[in-house]
Amino acid sequence: MALATLKDVLAKREDARAVGAFSTYDLFSAQGVIQGAEKENLPVIVMMGAPVLAKPGNEYIAKNLVSLAEEAKVPVVVFLDHAKDYATCLKAMKLGFSAVMIDGSHFSLEENIHLTAKVVETAQHLGISVEGELGALAGLEDGEEVKNSKMTDPTKVRQFVENTGIDALAVSIGNAHGLYKGEPNLNFDTLRQCEQASPIPLVLHGGTGLTQEQFALAVQCGIKKINIGTEIKKSYIEAFVATQGQNPAAYDLIGIPQACKEAVSGVAAEKLRFFAADWAKFIN
């Protein structure tokens, strides 16, 4: 099946469902995510974070992601997550990614618009989708920490979208990267206002740790893409440790990666199924 873009897989406003986007770090985590999507026969977004792409040799993993997507039985978007600059987005585009996120949330609104629009201009010539961010998420992701969050201002949403030309918008409504400290508190009133103001699909980052009820309400309020990162890492590492612990002397580099892949596959399949349909069971 052909490599897909965000425009290909994200639901229209009238369709109440979301697509799962999962962080990947190597061949086995990527295979696990796609395997989970194929099991559910649902589209999926396979992400590589900008800090991961920046590590020496990881261009080869990026190329593997593209190859896996092209060979998959379901639509797969290969997505660069949280790039902070134009050069990193351009690098991913040249590697064959079908979507990139330019995160200018650390800049002023005017600077964010300028940077995001520059990425969009290049991406559109190549048929590549772009996600932008308005507001800022706190937390730790792929080794990069943001200490201060900034709630998305719904009154700025239409201006940002219309002046950048992005295909999807990540919002900050109390969500955070990494593991939440205490119970997550999402501002759904802000989300509803953003959805009303936005002509394009909205994205929720920081999915690990949210309850099923919170996910369900987010989808009902217009979220079309949900990012899951820490839960993928957690399932992978736990499978690694458990499998190694069963026979410590084996140092089983055949069996351990397969166990990790299966664990990731299970997480991806469950989330994809929930975001696509099962969320409705949690709405009163």
Q: What is the rounded distance in angstroms from the CA atom of residue 241 to the CA atom of residue 235?
A: 10
212-220 and 255-276 helices, crossing angle to 10°: 50
CB 206 within 8 A of CB 149: no
Q: What is the DSSP letter of 39?
A: H
| Nearest residue to 68 (alpha-carbon basis) of 22, 117, 112 | 22
User: Residue 206 has which token pair?
Assistant: 């920081």
Q: Which amino acid is at 138?
A: A
Q: What is the rounded distance in angstroms from the CA atom of residue 269 to the CA atom of residue 276?
A: 11
Tell me how far CA of residue 160 lies from CA of 104, 132, 133, 169, in angstroms. Answer: 11, 9, 9, 9
Q: With residue 48 as reference, give the H or E element that holds it.
A: strand 44-49
Q: Which residue has the tokens 């969050």?
A: 149
The residues carrying an active-site annotation are: 81
Tally Cβ neighbours within 10 Å of residue 254: 7
CA angle 144, 80, 46 (to 5 degrees): 110
Tally Cβ neighbours within 10 Å of residue 136: 19
Q: What is the rounded distance in angstroms from the CA atom of residue 153 to the CA atom of residue 135?
A: 7
